[in-house]
Amino acid sequence: MRMPSYSIYSKWRTFISGLFFGTFIAYFVFLYMHGVMIEKRIEDQITMYQTYQELKRDHETLQTKLSDLTERYEQKTRIQTIELIIVNEEQLKLDRFMLLEMKELIKEDVHNLLGKEVNTFNQHYSLLISTLENKTYTIDHETYNVEVLHLFMSETSEIYLEISST
């Protein structure tokens, strides 16, 4: 039995070796392209996850701020106490009991402000001022007029008054 010479199958040998090396090179090109594509996808996934985390954090922050603002909006500031401060106490030379009675008469006029919203009252403060200034208060057969100097409205409201006898 005789072995065929290499020269007879040289074209087939070149074709098979070309096919083998071509497959080998194509496999490495495929690995390279696939690696680049996977690397890009992983990078995109990481950036998307970071963006998602950032948006989630921003959303939670905005939700807490929104809930705080709605709580503040729902809990409107209301007038809880009213302090009457008479500026010219010493000049009037009234005794303490007359002064307390004067404050009590004025508090009767402003007691309906307790529990009202400060924002609502701020729109109609001139009505309170005109009510206090146009009324005369009588104590021990002597009449007094009140002038409102300052009016501070918040939870603790302060009304600075100047009293004059007529």
3-12, 22-31, 63-72: least confident range? 3-12
Query: What is the per-residue pLDDT across 120-159, written as a single tens digit (0 to 9) for each?
Result: 777 888 888 888 899 998 888 889 899 999 988 888 889 9
Pairing state between β 156-165 and 81-86: parallel
Q: What is the pTM of this model?
A: 0.56
CA–CA dist 138, 105 (Å, integer)? 9
What's the rounded Cα separation, in Å, for the pair 140 and 136?
13
Separation of alpha carbons 114 and 79, rounded Å: 5
- The confidence score (pLDDT) of residue 22 equals 95
**pLDDT band at residue 166, thresholds of 50, 70 and 90?**
confident
Helix or strand or coil: residue 154? coil
Band of the pLDDT at 7, cuts 50, 70, 90?
low
pLDDT one-digit tens code per residue, 18-32: 999 999 999 999 999
- CB neighbour list of residue 136: distance below 8 Å, 6 or more residues apart: 143, 144, 145, 166
Residue 90: its pLDDT value, please?
84
CA distance 67 to 116: 24
